[in-house]
Amino acid sequence: MPFKRVMWLGLALCAAGCVGGGEQTKQADAVTQRFIDALDAKAYPTAYAEVSPEFKATMSEDLFEGFLKRIDHKLGPCQAPVKGGNWRVNATTNGYFRDQGYTRACAKGTLDITISVVVRGGEAKILGYRATSPLLLTD
């Protein structure tokens, strides 16, 4: 196959992959916003209600709440999260997966977070919440 055809085929496949997932993206955005809103309101049970069964299997609600309270204690009040350029999307037969990075400016330092979402059967849930800051490592 001539190089020009391969290039056009590759471009078409990339465009098809990038355009797909519109509804799943909206669902992922919505659950992420509800989750962030619940965290900001310190409504930790409400935030925990948005997480996936996989998340619940690895972290109990009490541990989740303790983790979030530690972040609050160590970093103080935080401003609204700002989306970073670090994101990843993967659509498989097991679901639509998205990781989105954010940065939050807090009273005592910066908090970098990644929120992972899975959309399955028309329902979006939080699959993971990773928070990093050097302040979380100190007492």
pLDDT digits (tens, 9 = 90+) for 21-43: 699 999 999 999 999 999 999 99
| CATH number of the domain that residue 124 is part of | 3.10.450.100
**Gap between the Cα atoms of 25 and 130, Å rounded:** 20
Residue 80's pLDDT is what?
Answer: 95
Question: Given pLDDT bands bounded at 50, 70 and 90, which one contains residue 13?
Answer: very low
- Examine residue 117 and state whether it is found in any structural domain, yes or no: yes
pLDDT for 111: 97
The pLDDT tens digits for 69-94 are: 999 999 999 999 999 988 999 999 99
Q: Please give the tally of structural domains in the chain.
A: 1
* CA distance linking residue 24 with residue 90, whole number of Å: 11
* Averaged pLDDT, 113-128: 97
The answer to whether residue 79 is domain-embedded is: yes
118 forms bridges with which residues in the sheet?
Answer: 97, 125
CB 93 within 8 A of CB 118: no
Question: Which of 87, 131, 85 lies closest to 109, judged by CA?
Answer: 131
- Residue 51: DSSP 8-state: B
| 14 has pLDDT over 80 | no
Mean of pLDDT values over 121-133: 96
In the chain, the amino acid numbered 82 is V
